[in-house]
């Protein structure tokens, strides 16, 4: 019985180590500055074109469906833009500065910590 418990403990410890390494590897992926910059520029151009033509994102151009197939609504666009902008900030090392900015009092309403309606 002791050997079974020891074996189980070793298997669980090895599994935890593997999971930790996998999570660390996912978090420390190298972000391509050029890819994020290109994505942000493309999203801005698509938004500008959609606004000037009065199109919705469902009726948007071929480029939007080709480059960003998961964007179908304004909310999807905003989420994609925010994700690419945050990844760009991470790539240039501005994520710590962004955290400091959100801690400032005048930006508390963006974090949801301020008084509500």
Taking the whole predicted model, whether its pTM rises above 0.85 is answered as no
pLDDT tens digits, one per residue of 9-27: 888 888 888 888 777 666 6
* Contact (CB, 8 A) for 114 and 108: yes
Q: How far is CA 103 from CA 83, 95, 110, in A?
A: 20, 13, 10
Mean pLDDT of the region 83-93: 86
Nearest residue to 80 (alpha-carbon basis) of 92, 67, 90: 67
Give, rounded to a whole angstrom, the gap between the first and last alpha carbons of the chain: 60
Average pLDDT of every residue of the chain = 77
pLDDT reading at 3 higher than 80 = yes
Where residue 68 falls among pLDDT bands split at 50, 70, 90? confident
């Amino acid at each position: 019985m002791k050997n079974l418990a020891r074996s189980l403990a070793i298997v669980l410890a090895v599994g935890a180590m593997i999971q930790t390494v996998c999570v660390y590897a996912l978090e420390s992926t190298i972000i391509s500055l050029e890819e994020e910059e290109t994505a942000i520029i493309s999203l801005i151009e698509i938004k500008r074109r959609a606004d000037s033509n009065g199109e919705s994102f469902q009726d948007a151009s071929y480029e939007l469906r080709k480059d960003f197939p998961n964007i179908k609504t304004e909310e999807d666009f905003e989420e994609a833009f925010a994700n690419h902008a945050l990844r760009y900030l991470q790539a240039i090392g501005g994520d710590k500065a962004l955290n400091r900015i959100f801690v400032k009092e005048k930006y508390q309403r963006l974090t949801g910590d301020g008084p509500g309606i």
